[in-house]
Structure 1
């Protein structure tokens, strides 16, 4: 069923779930890894495809590596 509602069409293009970039701190050798978020908190996440010290794109599980780019915070 096709909708003419532009908002619904837009929402259909976006995947659900939070997307985060984190630095990998450990591979637990049980199918999970430990990652440190930008705020300093540490999480366990499914997947071991990214090495320790590298940055990973996370969306419910590790999706892949991301380059280490400069990070800026702007207050508006």
Structure 2
């Protein structure tokens, strides 16, 4: 049964968890990969679907797909 609560309908449109872009630095061979974040820290994530040197979307500690390699700008407000 569909909900008529507008807030619940809105929340259903927003994906759970934070999604960020990281560069894959190594495939571990056991279903995980090493990924480097923009701040230079390295994390281990699930999945090996993105090649080393490419950028990937990471969500909930798992590779969700290949991210485009675009220019990054940092602006301080």
Provide the TM-score with structure 1 as the length reference: 0.89
| C-alpha distance 6-73 of structure 1, shift in aligned 2 (>3 A) | farther
Unaligned runs of 5+ residues in structure 2 are: none
Unaligned runs of 5+ residues in structure 1 are: none
How many residues are aligned here?
76
Detail structure 1 runs of 4+ shifted over 2 Å in the superposition: 1-8
Residues 12-35 of structure 1, C-alpha deviations (whole Å, 9 max, x = no match) = 111111111000000000000000
1:67 aligns with 2:68: yes
Give matches, 1:1-76, under 5 Å: 1-60=1-60, 61-76=62-77
Q: CA RMSD in A?
A: 1.3
